[in-house]
Amino acid sequence: MTKKSKLLYEGKAKKLYATDEKNILWVEYLNQTTALNGLRKDLIQGKGELNNQITSLVFEYLRQRGIKHHFVEKISKTEQLIQKLKIIPLEIVLRNVAAGSLSKRLNVEKGTQLSFPIVEFYLKKDLLKDPFINDEHVLMLKIANLEEINLLKKKIRKINEVLIEMFQKAKIKLIDFKLEFGKLPDGPIVLADEISPDTCRLWDEITNEHLDKDVYRYNLGNLVPVYQEVLKRLLTI
Ligand SMILES: Nc1ncnc2c1ncn2[C@@H]1O[C@H](COP(=O)(O)OP(=O)(O)OP(=O)(O)O)[C@@H](O)[C@H]1O
Ligand SMILES: [Mg+2]
């Protein structure tokens, strides 16, 4: 049995602990919910549990489809074990349908199907409010080399295909999502962090109703029954 040791990092949505195994971390999913880069903050009972369940289920699905990632196992309602990675400080976003900042910045109507999946890089730096950057900034900042940039884009596009197919079975449209990647001690880049309604835009296939954190961002109601609905549907696929 892996043992939890000291707290390494307390983020906005999760706590990370070291364990008695060098390359394994212990993650606790929190009820804390934030928007606007942490400017708005609330405790929502049950959210941590739901995100842990949903992320675990999605990572299991990805594993079955041959996608390499950090997830080891879910160990309690709110906790999982993951492989320790050196996180690449990028939030990598893929968009299938216009929404959020893409709609706002480029004046593309929310809900417009994009002609191809668009990949965007954001620098993971809270102090700078995670700014939008391009490939050349990634190179300039020495975050990744050209080969790695291309690999990251290839990986997120492949993951998009698998996620679209998975959510389709749950009668959900995958509008956009954010991923993080990291390097294993021996070098390979694998998927990290979480995939949940906190990090994806998910719309009901028929009604286009939000099944994600936009319910909180835009004050559309209680987030818990919405996340429960996502989990319920994913359990049927
Ligand atoms: N396998 C991993 N190994 C090491 N760190 C990880 C791994 N997976 C995720 N992380 C990091 O753990 C933290 C998760 O916490 P949380 O999601 O609460 O952070 P956050 O508040 O969103 O802040 P951040 O801006 O750092 O992502 C993130 O910093 C994420 O990059
Ligand atoms: Mg996070």
Q: Which ligand is nearest to the CA of 193?
A: 1
The torsion region of residue 165 among left (phi > 0), alpha (psi -120 to 50) and beta comes to alpha
Q: Nearest residue CA, atom 9 of ligand 1? A: 193
Mutate to test the pocket of ligand 1, among 41, 55, 193, 199 (most ligand atoms within 8 A of CB): 193
CA 30 to ligand 1: nearest atom: 18
Total Cβ atoms within 10 A of residue 83: 18
30 Cα to the center of ligand 1, angstroms:
12
193 Cα to the center of ligand 1, angstroms:
6
Helices 47-64/146-169 angle, 10° precision:
110
109 Cα to the center of ligand 2, angstroms:
27
Per-residue pLDDT of the chain (237 residues), as tens digits, is: 999 999 999 999 999 999 999 999 999 999 999 998 888 999 999 999 999 999 999 999 999 999 999 999 999 999 999 999 999 999 999 999 999 999 999 999 999 999 999 999 999 999 999 999 999 999 999 999 999 999 999 999 999 999 999 999 999 999 999 999 999 999 999 999 999 999 999 999 999 999 999 999 999 999 999 999 999 999 999
Q: Is there a shared CATH topology between the 4-83 domain and the 86-222 domain? A: no
CA 130 to ligand 1: nearest atom: 25
Q: pTM, whole model, 2 decimals? A: 0.97
1 Cα to the center of ligand 2, angstroms:
27
177 Cα to the center of ligand 1, angstroms:
16
CATH number attached to the domain at 4-83: 3.30.200.20
**Residue whose structure tokens are 């594993």:** 63
Q: Nearest residue CA, atom 24 of ligand 1? A: 11
Helix (H) or strand (E) holding 178: strand 172-179
C-alpha atoms less than 13 angstroms from C-alpha of 231 in its C-beta half-sphere: 18
Mutate to test the pocket of ligand 1, among 7, 9, 32 (most ligand atoms within 8 A of CB): 9
Q: Which ligand is nearest to the CA of 88?
A: 1
Q: Which ligand is nearest to the CA of 125?
A: 1
The domain made up of 86-222 has a fold known as: D-amino Acid Aminotransferase; Chain A, domain 1 (3.30.470)
Domain boundaries, given as residue ranges, for the chain:
4-83, 86-222
